[in-house]
Each structure stands twice: as structure tokens, then as C-alpha cells.
């Protein structure tokens, strides 16, 4: 499964993570990439950012990999803060 979710930083809260977790019904590896960007960027800036992101993924750069169990542990610790 692959999906792209666009949201504002203010929407990134515990309810979002709870809903995200409901999609993880079994122990699976996953990859999450978070990229902040300015909506005021030009089309050329947007294209360059997309091209760089594609290159990064193809070359395995700037990626973080973890299992669903590791994600769950991270979120549990985050909620305790």
C-alpha cells in the first residue's frame, strides 16, 4: 500500500496518528517521509523539490525505515511526553 497525505502542521496531532494506526492491522514494515514546504512556492521550485525527492528515494537518501512495532513504541513514548 502506498499513499500520500497532505495536511497542515496544525492537523498533525494524536488523532491523526490514532487513525493512521488503524490501517496497520498487522506487523508490517513501513516508510514515512515528511516534507515541509511552502504553499507559496513557484511551479519551478515545486518541480525542483519533486525531482530532488524522487532522486533521494531512488538513491535511498534521506529515508527513515522502521517496523510497525517500532512506530508503535515511538508513538507510545511520544504520548507520554
Local mean pLDDT, 10-residue blocks, the chain (81 residues): 76 82 74 76 87 92 86 85 72
pTM: 0.38
| Angle at the Cα of 62 from the Cα atoms of 80 and 33, rounded to 5 degrees | 55
CA-based angle 34:39:41, to the nearest 5? 105
- Residue 1 pLDDT: 64
pLDDT (0 to 100) of residue 75? 85
- pLDDT, residue 55, reads 93
Amino acid at each position: 500500500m502506498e499513499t500520500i497525505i497532505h495536511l497542515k502542521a496544525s492537523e498533525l496531532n494524536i488523532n491523526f496518528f490514532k487513525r493512521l494506526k488503524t490501517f496497520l492491522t498487522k506487523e508490517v514494515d513501513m516508510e514515512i517521509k515528511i516534507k515541509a514546504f511552502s504553499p507559496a512556492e513557484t511551479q519551478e521550485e515545486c518541480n525542483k523539490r519533486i525531482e530532488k525527492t524522487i532522486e533521494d528515494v531512488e538513491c535511498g537518501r534521506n529515508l527513515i525505515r522502521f517496523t510497525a512495532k517500532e512506530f508503535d513504541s515511538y508513538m507510545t513514548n511520544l504520548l507520554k511526553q
